[in-house]
Structure 1
Amino acid sequence: MNPVFQNIIVTIVAFIYVFGIVGLMDFFVKKGFPQDLSRKVVHLAAGSWLIFWLFYDSSHWTKYLNISPAFLWTLLLLQKGFFAKDDDQAVKTMTRTGDKKELLKGPLYFTIVMNLFGTIFYGSNLALYAMGFLTWGDGLAPVVGSRFGKHKFKILSEKSIEGSFTFLIFGVIGTIIFHLLFGISVNWNFLIVCAFISTITEALSPKDLDNILIPLVILLLYKINF
């Protein structure tokens, strides 16, 4: 198949996937699904968008179209964060409290990271580590911590031992799954280092900045080790 045509088709499917998840969660929120859970479902689904890299023809520059959904959401989050009405479904689906300004923090930072990894670090082993921990570890830690966290601690923001443990375990699982899908061997020593350092980073992160700090720390660790 012509690589341009192939990459355009994959991009269209990726759009349907990303916007379909958001639309689905809009529907469930209207039916009473908790906003904080909806936010994390979108987080998990959006971060897993890199599985579409498997279907791009990397020989052509149009592989970078993979960031199109993330780039469009970056623009939408900026627009909605400043100008959305209180009843905007994106505000209800992607914020904790219904405050549109939240869209300019964690969700916006997340799409910026997606844009960077989909271009500068496209197809790299580094991206699998960073997105594994950011998507699955950071996506599930608040869900478990807020509902089942009994051992709270606060440094720059409130966390829990249970949430941090969830981050570590599911960050490792997510990273391994991404490596299996891409057929790339896991460097177990590096994975262990990533697991503990990124878990500490998440525990120390100010509220909403973990979406930037976690991939940044993993990037620095990767550069040091490789």
Structure 2
Amino acid sequence: MAPFGQIPPLWFHIAIAAIWVGGVVLTAELLHRYTNTDPEKIRKVVHIGTGQVILLAWWLQIPAWVGITASILASAVTLLSYKFPILPGVNSVGRKSLGTFFYAISIGILTAWFWPLQQPQYAALGILVMTWGDGLAALIGQRFGKHPYKVWDIQKSWEGSLTMVLVSYAVSSLILLVAQGNIWQTWIIPIPVAIVATALEAFSKLGIDNLTVPIGSAALGFFLSQLLLS
């Protein structure tokens, strides 16, 4: 054990992140096996819960190579899980989707992009807009969606989309507030980010929104910050 006052070693930080992700996945599997919880709700437990690991990686300053390696391994496992019953609690939603795979890929891409730039807040912004925004939009839309609309053959609800806008704005604002302080850009930049994220979420065929929403949100937030803060 590290002496009192000494920074814990890297392996300790990695273990914290791994325990968090493992705990979320284990919870989902227990819910799947021993309760009658709706599979879509179980999937959202994983969707929202595992996304918070990006905050741990940011806070603990876990190196980019760790996040990229974890993304590659998670992508491989999720691909295998579509053929073999590795993660039935995650993928048993009764519809064809590569969402979990795209989710893992997006974390790796954003880590590889923003960690070397010393701008991890934008990776966190993209991932958390997806986890909280998309996750809550789906739950609210299914429970309270009374006004449906279609984007090609994909049905959404105005209630779900409104949730996506509001949650995306709140998440983006909080992350930018922590990263750059209480300046006017902190409150303005999340407006287009939330609108674009919602538009991308509306097209979610095969779960592609799990790739487009985080990358699109992070990229837009980053470029607008570069433009308005320069």
TM above 0.5: yes
> What's the secondary structure of 1:118's corresponding residue?
helix
C-alpha change, 1:163 and 1:90, in structure 2 (3 Å) is same
Letter in structure 1 aligned against 2:202: A
Q: Which residue of 1 aligns with 2:43?
A: 39
List aligned pairs for 1:9-28, cutoff 5 A: 9-28=12-31
> Hey, what's the Cα distance between the residues in 1 that align with 2:192 and 2:71?
29
- Aligned 8 A contact 1:21 1:45 in 2: yes
Instruction: Name the counterpart of 2:111.
Output: 118
- Cα drift, residue 192 of structure 1: 0.8
Q: Which moved more, 1:202-211 or 1:109-118?
A: 202-211
Partner of 2:216: 217
Aligned to 2:166: 169
- Deviation above 6 Å: which 4+ runs of structure 1? none
- Give the deviation of 1:172 after TM superposition: 2.1
For residues 131 and 220 of structure 2, the distance between their equivalents in structure 1, rounded to whole angstroms, comes to 18
Alignment RMSD, CA only?
2.5
User: What is the rounded CA distance, in whole Å, between the counterparts of 1:81 and 1:25 in structure 2?
Assistant: 16
Separation in 2, partners of 1:169, 1:118: 25
Distance 1:34 1:92 in 2: 10
CA deviation after TM superposition for structure 1 residue 224, in Å: 4.5
Structure 2 unaligned spans of 5+: none
Ranges in structure 1 where 5+ consecutive residues have no aligned partner? none
**Aligned-pair distance for 1:179?**
4.2
Q: When the two structures are aligned, how many residues end up with a matched partner?
A: 213
Aligned partner letter, 1:74: S
Contact 1:11 1:66 in 2 (8 A): no
The residue type equivalent to 1:37 in the other structure is K
Aligned to 1:150: 146
Identity %: 24
1:33 and 1:205, CA in 2 relative to 1: closer, same or farther beyond 3 A? closer
Deviation at 1:76, TM superposition (A): 0.7
